[in-house]
Structure 1
Amino acid sequence: MLDNHFKNILLVFFLFVGLISHAQSWKPTTATITFKIKHAFGSTAEGSFKGFAGVIVFDPKNLKNTNLKASIEAKTIDTGLDIRDKTLRGSNYFDAENYPKISMISTRIETGASENEFIGYFNLTIKKTTRSIKIPFSFVQNNSIAQLKSTFEVNRLEYGIGGKSSLLKDIAIVSITLNVQQ
């Protein structure tokens, strides 16, 4: 006959295994991170980042066990103009040498307005600043593959990216498309 201590250990083990089996781990296969920011006089600067790394644990039916962590490499910024990219990597903007990663970590996920839509609350860290940000996203699953997609706004001044400018607007529109598989 098993003693109570051993029974408790087995119970904890099976509960832990049960929780893990309900959380769905996804492996990122491709990631596209783009941004747009308006200049004065109506023009728009567009660009992208590479160097995505992430941990995606997401089950639309079990949001409490969701864990989304992602980062990109600041030095990979690409606007199509080498001189602008060099300026953006510099200390007045992303300071990629001292702050090589831009990261996001989920703190809470809620259901959205319709099926496959969610609202994520994340800690977004750019340079030395971490702020809580609300990000709507969709998650569409087809068997063992899925896609997370989001578009949201970031105020660059809140993260010390450049200074107040009459030529560059404060709000950047960020779009993320992440393809994943189990």
Structure 2
Amino acid sequence: MRTAALQILPGLLLDSVLLLALFIATPVKAQYQPLDKGSSVQFRIKNLGFNVTGSLTGLVGKISFDPAQPGDAVFDVSVDANSINTDNDMRDDHLRKESYFNVKQYPRISLISGKISLYKRGAYLFAGRLTIKNHSQDVSFPFTATEIDGGYQFKGTFTINRKDFDVGGFSTISDNLDVTLDVIAK
């Protein structure tokens, strides 16, 4: 019996060494957490000819990013819809209601990547889905990724049509709004 155990031991040892070598040779994707503090999610929309700006906070999610392999990147982030802030409490309360963001039923606004690709030197192209009030639409926009201590700073801007997400119905506000992202991830 002891001879059989000694014969098995070299095989187990070899298997263990091969498994360790495979683990070491397999690249590990860098995982980052978006930081709410220091990041900004802002929007701009026209209302009766005037620009209204606002922001959202409560940024959470996961980001996997390597500039050498953008095709392997994954962005899965969201913000708190209830955090909407246009520096006007009455307007913000109105935007939280059912006809706009309906924050009681849909508390998060999410952005999930489908594909990240090199756009041009120093910039990448995000293609994914934006979900507001359980309505998802494809979005695509260029962004930059700047390496910072322990992570990255991602910046990008895109335009959406609020009606695609059933936000605002018939209103005096413009259909289109610009969203600007400046996300710190570590």
- Same fold per superposition (TM over 0.5): yes
- Aligned-pair CA distance for 1:132: 1.4
CA shift digits 1:124-175 (9 cap, x unpaired): 110111111112111011453421001110110000001133x211011001
Is residue 158 from structure 1 mapped to residue 167 from structure 2 by the alignment? Answer: no
1:137 corresponding residue in structure 2 = 143
What is the distance in 2 between the residues matched to 1:48 and 1:17? Answer: 43
Within 2, Cα distance between the matches of 1:168 and 1:147?
31
1:124 maps to what in 2?
Answer: 130
**Does residue 38 of structure 2 align to residue 33 of structure 1?**
no
Q: CA offsets, 1:42-73, max 9 Å, x none?
A: 21111100110021110011123211110000
**Could you say if the C-alpha distance between residues 16 and 107 of structure 1 is closer, same or farther in structure 2, counting changes exceeding 3 Å?**
farther
Tell me the distance in 2 between the aligned counterparts of 1:75 and 1:53: 14
Matches within 5 A, 1:43-58: 43-58=50-65
Q: Deviations over 1:83-141 (max 9, x none)?
A: 1101100000000000000001111001112x220101111110111111112111011
Q: Percent identity?
A: 29
Counterpart in 1 of 2:90? 83
Question: Structure 2 CA distance, aligned partners of 1:16 and 1:106?
Answer: 28
In the alignment, what sits opposite 1:168? Answer: 173
Which of the two has greater strand per residue? Answer: 2
Quick check: which has more Rg, 1 or 2?
2
Secondary structure in 1 matching 2:163: helix
* Structure-2 separation of matches of 1:71 and 1:116: 25
Residue 2 of structure 1 deviates from its aligned partner by 2.6
Aligned pairs, how many? 174
Contact 2:39 2:182 in 1 (8 A): yes
* CA distance in structure 2 between the partners assigned to 1:136 and 1:15 by the alignment: 34
Cα distance in structure 2, aligned partners of 1:16 and 1:37 = 50
Aligned to 2:67: 60
Kindly report structure 1 stretches of 4+ aligned residues shifted beyond 6 Å: none
Q: Structure 1 residues 83-92 or 61-70, which shifts more?
A: 61-70
Give the Cα–Cα distance (whole angstroms) in 1 for the partners of residues 98 and 81 of structure 2. Answer: 12
Shift of 1:15: 5.4
Name structure 2 gaps, 5 residues minimum: 1-9
